[in-house]
Structure 1
Amino acid sequence: MQPILFWTIGVLSLLAALAVVSLPRPQHAVVALVILMGLDAVELFLLQAPLLAVETIVVASGAVLLVWSVLVRRRRARLGVPGRRRYNVTKLLSFFVVLALGLVLVDVVLQAAEPQPRAGSDVTMVTGALLSLVLLLIAGPVTWWILRRARSSEEGEQA
């Protein structure tokens, strides 16, 4: 069951990342990406892989900051122009970065053996999973709020 869950979350995360770089209004895809990566971190903590789980949380935070700094901040780019797609250099570069990282991830997972739980205390495993869940519950709404605020300020500028 765990490899199926891992692959499902991984594929959904890649689809959300591709949606972030290709859709004209990426805010919902960013929230979905953060939530999926948070769920992935919870699963990794439960598999007793805390280093990989922390790396996943850092990557999710970096994705939110990257989208915020490149797509949302003023004087950079609008969240979207209704009726047409934007394919500028940033989006093309982001697409190829996501594609390259996705291929590396697929290669690593295909060459890796089935995850074997390490002998360790259940307290560490449960504590890490709960901490990851708390970070997920904080990151999802905060990401949604930041992107919603940016969208409302963008609409206020247009009026």
Structure 2
Amino acid sequence: MNIKKVLNFLESKFEEIFACVALVIISLCVISQVISRYVFNFGITWTEELAGFAMPWAIYMGAALGVRERFHIRILVGVRSLPMFAQYIIIFLGDLIWLAFNIFMIKYGIDYLELLWERPTISPSMSISRFWPETIIVIAYALMLFRLVQIYVKWFRDGRKGLPGC
């Protein structure tokens, strides 16, 4: 298999893969917990914790997918009713605020991870450091930042036709 095809596939499906894997993990944990409690009369303690760790991964990867596909909250009907210059200003301003927010979250996410690394908190059922599941904060906001920049690179490369990513 061609490496370029694999990289293109990962670039176009990265968020979906991680979000779907996280959702499958959540589903399997919940189903196994229900079966073990109601069929076998005992609970599996680590399934709830694993589902709780997988939930933010699914949510944040879905948010990154929203940025990549430009599905995040935006009222384009109202924006498109404005003159073209005003449309550009509003879209650019919104994306600039989003870019700044991503940088803010990456910076403070790294600070948070440093704190978790210095003062490890061990999860009770799975006995792993909470540092590892919490890395999604930095990973997701970095991915969202990357996808936002990627939208503008593609927009410039395509001759700045229409609004970026729309």
Q: Give the TM-score range, shorter chain.
A: 0.3 to 0.5
Task: Give the number of the structure whose alpha-carbon radius of gyration is greater.
Answer: 2
TM-score by length of 1: 0.32
TM-score by length of 2: 0.31
Larger relative contact order (Cα-Cα within 8 Å, sequence gap ≥ 6): 1
